[in-house]
Structure formats: C-alpha cells, structure tokens
C-alpha cells in the first residue's frame, strides 16, 4: 500500500513537472511572439545648446526623427521617438544617459560639441546604440555621421559671386572648428571659381546660439558694402536674417541677400534669402535609424554624405534674383563636375590655398 502511494505521488510529481515545463515553454513562446508583435523600435536625440527650434541644424535633425516616427507609426514619447534639449554642455552626459536608461534603442547626439559626452556614455551603456552627427566616436556601438559641407558651400559661393553687385560678400561662422572650416573653405572656393575678384569678409561669432551677435556682425558687413552674406552659425545666423529683413523693409530697392544653411531657410525671409546650403541632417537621421531598426546598424563606422549621396546640396534660388537662370546653370554645371570627381572641393583653409578650379 505504502509502495503504491509512493508510486502515485511520484507519477503526479512527474506529471506536474512535465505540465509546468510545457506551460513555461508556451508562456515564453507567447511572450516572445507578443514581443515580436508589440515591441517597437524607439529612437531619441539630444540637441546641442542651439536648441531644437534653432531653425537650422538641430531642427533639421528633429524633422528627420519626426519623419521616421511618422513612417513607423510611432508616438512621441517614451517607447517611440523623442528629444531632450540641452541648455548647456554640462547637460550632454546626463541627457544621453537619461534616454539610454529609458530604453531607447538608438540615441543621437546632435553636433560635434557632444563628441566627448557620446564617447563617455557609449562606453558605459554598451547595450544602447548611439549615433553622433558631425564628429567621430570610435566605439562599436556608435555610428559617426559626417558630411562634405564644403560641397554645398561651394555652390553657395557660386550663387553669391553671381549675385553680388558690389563685388563684396560675407561669411559668418559660429565657432571655429573643422565642420565650420569646411563651410568656409568651400564657400571661398566657389567664389574663386566663379569670380575671383569678389572680396569676402569672414567673421566668427564664437557661438551657435547668439542671434544678437549674428545680427551685429551682419549689420557691420552690410554697412561696409557687402550685399550677400552666408552663415554657418546655427541659431546665431537668425540674426543675419533679421538684419537683412530690416534693411529690406527700410529700402525695398536695396540689393540685400542672405544665404541660409543646413535646411532651406527661405522661411526666414522670402524677400532676402537667396538660397541655402543644404546639409541633410534630416535624411542622415532617418537613414541611420532605418539601418539600426533593420539590424544593419553601422556601429564603429563613419558614414559620409556628400553631393553624390544627395546628403548636401543647394536649395532653389530665390525667384526674385535678377539672374536666377544664370545661377541655376552654373550650379548645375559645377554640381556635375563635383559629382564626377573632375573637381575636388577643398575642405580646409590649407587646401583652399592651393585650390585651382581648372
């Protein structure tokens, strides 16, 4: 009798174990299946100090992130797509860590100013994928996105040289670094290739978030004879547009032009914005997010966008430009030469010194 009870107990125990094992497997499978169906790819970004509404660099990145979110039916916020705005460089590490700890699959650091922070956080948060725009971080979980800004700036220089009536134009940079130097070198090369007699004033504001500084510099340039000014200064460049718009209002017949950067900035002054040197940060953000989502994340690699990759370019020439057709023709011709490799646009001031358009 005792043996029989013990045997029955063992049988029941084995059956229970088998059932629990089966249930465990089924539950895991259900969990995995549910996870495959409901788990969405989430992506966030941290702006540099220019802010998400800088009308330029950060805004372009945010537009790209929004487009990715819309394309994938994601909602703004945790588990979908979102951004954190930095008010100072001291915020970068904290903000990057915040998005990583909230479980975002991919986190963008927008701007070369964030290189150190991305490098530091990527080493700590190894399970999070990161991407930095405009700089290089050599970590296996970081993709570095770079642009040939000089190629877009070259076309802006062509447009400026063909538009000026005073043979005097300007360039306003934000902070002196390799990225803005590429803009400056390309712009100077475009002018040299088109009309070498044109004088180019160059001045740096020392910041990307000081609109008043941009306006002050623009005011001095316009008052000393410049009639076309190109900026590569983020939100600081907003001051350029304000000054140009104000001058045009005071004298509608005055030849006053401004050239935007990063995105088509025609909305900053339809009567004064000649064109913009496009830097498709929005496309780069979308592309990188798609690659990460599809399991093809380029961690530890550099991704370079130029004219040939449609990563940079020039926005439409203002219809009010007197010689719009001539500018368009020249831009088309030079674009073809750059894409074919017939001409290499200098990316540094040292390269510009030996640059020959022939």
pLDDT tens string 224-256:
999 999 999 999 999 999 999 999 999 999 999
Global pTM value: 0.84
Provide the pLDDT for residue 11: 44
pLDDT in tens, 82-96: 999 999 999 999 999
Provide the pLDDT for residue 56: 84
pLDDT in tens, 42-75: 999 999 888 898 888 899 999 999 999 999 999 9
pLDDT in tens, 313-324: 999 999 999 999
pLDDT at 294 over 60: yes
State the average pLDDT for the chain: 90
What is the arithmetic mean of pLDDT over 199-208? 97
Cα–Cα distance list, 155 to 83, 144, 221, 235, 259 (Å): 32, 25, 21, 22, 11
**For the chain, where do the domains classified as CATH 3.40.50.2300 start and end?**
43-147+284-293+299-304, 149-278+323-353
Candidate CATH numbers 3.40.50.720, 3.40.50.2300, 3.40.50.300, 3.30.390.50; the one for domain 43-147+284-293+299-304: 3.40.50.2300
Provide the pLDDT for residue 333: 98
CATH of domain 149-278+323-353: 3.40.50.2300
Q: Could you tell me which residues come within 8 angstroms of residue 199 by beta carbon, excluding any fewer than 6 positions away?
A: 167, 168, 169
pLDDT at 24 over 50: no
- Residue 137 pLDDT grade (very low, low, confident, very high; cuts 50, 70, 90): very high
In this structure, of 26-30, 266-270, 309-313, the range with the lowest mean pLDDT score is 26-30
> Which of 334, 300, 287, 352 lies closest to 152 in space, CA to CA?
334
Provide the pLDDT for residue 39: 64
Provide the pLDDT for residue 25: 37
């Amino acid at each position: 009798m005792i043996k029989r009870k013990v045997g029955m107990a063992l049988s029941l125990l084995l059956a229970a174990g088998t059932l629990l094992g089966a249930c465990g497997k089924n539950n895991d499978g259900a969990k995995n299946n549910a996870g495959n169906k409901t788990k969405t790819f989430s992506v966030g970004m941290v702006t540099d100090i220019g802010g998400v509404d800088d009308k330029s660099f950060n805004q372009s990145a945010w537009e790209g992130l929004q487009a990715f979110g819309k394309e994938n039916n994601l909602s703004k916020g945790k588990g979908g797509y979102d951004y954190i705005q930095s008010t100072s460089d001291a915020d970068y590490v904290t903000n990057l860590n915040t998005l990583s700890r909230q479980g975002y699959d991919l986190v963008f650091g927008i701007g070369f100013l964030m290189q150190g922070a991305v490098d530091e956080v990527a080493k700590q948060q190894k399970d999070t994928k990161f991407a930095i725009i405009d700089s290089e971080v050599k970590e296996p979980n970081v993709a570095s996105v770079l642009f040939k800004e000089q190629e877009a700036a070259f076309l802006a220089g062509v447009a400026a040289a063909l538009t000026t009536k005073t043979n005097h134009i300007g360039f306003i940079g934000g902070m002196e670094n390799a990225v803005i130097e590429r803009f400056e070198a390309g712009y100077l090369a475009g002018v040299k290739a088109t009309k070498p007699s044109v004088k180019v004033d160059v001045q740096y504001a020392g910041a990307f978030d000081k609109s008043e500084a941009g306006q002050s510099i623009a005011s001095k340039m316009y008052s000393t004879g410049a009639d076309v000014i190109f900026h590569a200064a983020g939100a600081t460049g907003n001051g350029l547009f304000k000054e140009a718009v104000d001058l045009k209002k005071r004298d509608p017949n005055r030849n006053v032009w401004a050239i935007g950067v990063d995105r088509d900035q025609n909305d900053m002054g339809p009567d004064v914005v000649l064109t913009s040197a496009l830097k498709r940060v929005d496309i780069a953000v979308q592309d990188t997010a798609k690659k990460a989502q599809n399991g093809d994340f380029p961690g530890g690699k550099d991704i370079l966008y130029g004219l040939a990759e449609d990563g940079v370019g020039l926005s439409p020439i203002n219809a009010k430009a007197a010689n719009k057709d001539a500018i368009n023709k020249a831009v088309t011709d030079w674009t073809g030469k750059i894409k074919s490799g017939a001409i290499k646009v200098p990316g540094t001031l040292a390269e510009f010194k030996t640059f020959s358009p022939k």
